[in-house]
């Protein structure tokens, strides 16, 4: 059993909570330097993320992010049962040095370091997890498969669009977006999602995240409350903390957001953030009664609803689920969508459908923020939709994903069935698997990551601590023929985790 690092305590880790450097980055640097200077020796075990978070008065995700970065760089190893230990395979030339030097770090802590002040809003965002550059690994959730047909067609359309670009189109674009694309999106949403809109209501954004940022800033004053599903998308939490708003986590049951619980917890909320057609990450569909209850609440209280129509294009069973916006008669719903999960994340194009009264304020906010999304990509996307490629791509991917999803389900039942309980979700790009009570899903996720598998834990998306942990298995990265072998390879890791749970 590896011994716990004896000198790792609150007094030996100095974090500057007023600094512009995120806390998880500060903790990562502090731990890395202690490893490189042999304060913490190879083979020694670090405290669990929960223990270290409590000792340092940090959010648990802050410690998890620091540990994950050190694992990715080879400084730490994680194994279920053994915890997180310092790697015994560190190159000798790295250890025993006075400090690890890279230029940016040296600048940030050099002898002439300034006393830098940042806003409370900036400090609050330091502890919110965020995505950096992502790579497709086995079981990565929320990441589309990029097939050769799409690449070929998209490349051809880019070449054609570039050749016909006019001088005026090299200027600043409209902050609302390229109008032909707004028309194409409005037409698609009316037919496919039952959204009630005209093209003037569609506003192009740099992905769904920007739509959330804009609406949060527009609709909430500092200190006002927002209901948010728990567990939920981290980007939504960041958007509301940036106001800064009071985030009210609301649990979810089989019918969706528990509105009665929300009303008891905070009846003063001005906004609700939901993903009713495919709740992220649980995959639950909000039933009609809850939808009507939420709309009535918004209408009676002059509140707003942000409908994040996450992964709505990919539904594999049951009847089609129409949008919440489509049954809203009082225009209290802002509908948000993105092309990141349908086409590719790097496209950075999304949209919102705003009530008529909000279009001008959003227009002004968008113009002041960044003047609009790049026009060239909007032109290419418009051509892709209007020429029928988009509809064919969705049909092709839905069939492909359905096959891979079934292969994943069969493999999990075959190799992990006695340990995991699969969710009933019928949409999206991942499956939620519940773990036996007592299994630390965070530690298990970290152990899988060290083996090259990206399987996020359910608790990392939660504000309130869940009673039972879980894992998110994406199914887009692996061929059907690869799924069984990949799942069989992670069986020993899960067996070890489950076997260490105390009986009784």
pLDDT class of 424 with cuts at 50, 70, 90: confident
pLDDT mean across residues, the chain: 89
- Residues 49-65 have a mean pLDDT of 89
Residue 102 has pLDDT above 50, yes or no: no
Phi-psi region of 150 (alpha: psi -120 to 50; beta: other; left: phi over 0): alpha
- State pLDDT tens for residues 326-378: 999 999 999 999 999 999 999 999 999 999 999 999 999 999 988 899 999 99
Q: Please say if the pLDDT value at position 98 is more than 50.
A: no
Domain ranges, ordered by start, for the chain? 10-125, 166-387, 391-499
Question: pTM to 2 decimals?
Answer: 0.80
Tens digits of residue pLDDT in 258-310? 999 999 999 999 999 999 999 999 999 999 999 999 999 999 999 999 999 98
Does 232 score more than 70 pLDDT? yes
pLDDT at position 217 is 96
User: What's the fold here for domain 166-387?
Assistant: 3.40.640
pLDDT of residue 142: 87
To which residue do tokens 């310092």 refer?
Answer: 86
**pLDDT exceeds cutoff 60 at 112:** no
Give residue 308's pLDDT: 98
Name the nearest CA neighbour of 211 among 63, 121, 333, 377: 333
Q: CB-side exposure of 41: number of CA atoms within 13 Å?
A: 5
Res. 66: pLDDT tops 80:
yes
At 482-496, the pLDDT tens digits run: 999 999 999 999 999
What pLDDT score was predicted for residue 337? Answer: 97
Residues 6 or more apart whose CB falls under 8 angstroms from that of 390 comprise 188, 342, 384
Is 391-499 assigned to CATH 3.90.1150.10? yes
pLDDT in tens, 384-422: 999 999 999 999 999 999 999 999 999 999 999 999 999
User: Which of the listed CATH numbers 2.30.30.100, 1.10.630.10, 1.10.10.10, 1.10.3720.10 matches domain 10-125?
Assistant: 1.10.10.10
The span from the CA of 246 to the CA of 259, in Å, is 17
């Amino acid at each position: 059993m590896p011994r716990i690092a004896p000198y790792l305590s609150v007094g030996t880790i100095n974090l500057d909570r007023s600094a512009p450097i995120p806390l998880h980055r500060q903790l990562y640097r502090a731990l890395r330097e202690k490893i490189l200077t042999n304060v913490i020796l190879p083979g020694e075990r670090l405290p669990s993320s929960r223990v270290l978070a409590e000792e340092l008065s940090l959010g648990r995700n802050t410690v998890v992010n620091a540990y994950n970065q050190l694992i990715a760089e080879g400084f730490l190893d994680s194994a279920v049962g053994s915890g997180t230990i310092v790697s015994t395979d560190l190159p000798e030339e790295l250890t025993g040095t006075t400090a690890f030097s890279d230029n940016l770090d040296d600048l940030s802590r050099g002898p002439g370091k300034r006393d830098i002040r940042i806003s409370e809003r900036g400090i609050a965002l330091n502890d919110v997890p965020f995505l950096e550059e992502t790579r497709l690994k086995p079981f990565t959730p929320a990441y589309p498969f990029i097939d050769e047909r799409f690449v070929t067609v998209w490349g051809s359309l880019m070449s054609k669009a570039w050749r016909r670009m006019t001088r005026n189109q090299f200027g600043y674009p409209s902050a609302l977006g390229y109008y032909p694309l707004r028309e194409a999106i409005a037409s698609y949403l009316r037919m496919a999602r039952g959204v009630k809109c005209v093209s003037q209501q569609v506003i192009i954004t740099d992905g769904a995240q920007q739509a959330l940022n804009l609406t949060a800033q527009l609709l909430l004053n500092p200190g006002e409350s927002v209901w948010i599903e728990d567990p939920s998308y981290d980007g939504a939490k960041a958007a509301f903390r940036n106001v800064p708003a009071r985030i009210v986590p609301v649990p979810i049951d089989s019918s969706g957001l528990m509105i009665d619980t929300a009303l008891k917890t905070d009846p003063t909320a001005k906004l609700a953030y939901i993903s009713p057609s495919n709740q992220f990450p649980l995959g639950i569909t909000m039933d009609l009664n809850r939808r009507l209850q939420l709309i009535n609440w918004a209408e009676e209280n002059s509140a707003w609803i942000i409908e994040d129509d996450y992964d709505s294009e990919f539904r594999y069973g049951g009847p089609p689920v129409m949008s919440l916006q489509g049954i809203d008669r009082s225009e209290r719903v802002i509908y948000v969508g993105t092309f990141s999960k349908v086409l590719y994340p790097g496209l950075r194009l999304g949209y919102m459908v705003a009530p008529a009264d909000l279009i001008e304020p959003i227009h002004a906010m968008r113009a002041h923020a960044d003047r609009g999304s790049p026009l060239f990509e909007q032109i290419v996307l418009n051509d892709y939709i209007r020429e029928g490629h988009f509809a064919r791509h969705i049909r092709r991917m839905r069939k492909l994903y359905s096959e891979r999803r079934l292969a994943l389900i069969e493999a999990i039942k075959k190799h992990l069935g006695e340990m995991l309980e699969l969710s009933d979700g019928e949409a999206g790009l991942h499956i939620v698997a519940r773990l036996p009570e007592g299994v630390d899903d965070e530690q298990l996720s970290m152990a899988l990551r060290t083996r090259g598998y990206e399987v996020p834990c359910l608790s990392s998306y939660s504000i309130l601590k869940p009673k039972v942990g879980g894992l998110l298995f994406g199914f887009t990265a692996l061929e059907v023929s690869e799924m069984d072998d990949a799942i069989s390879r992670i069986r020993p890791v899960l067996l070890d985790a489950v076997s260490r749970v105390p009986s009784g």
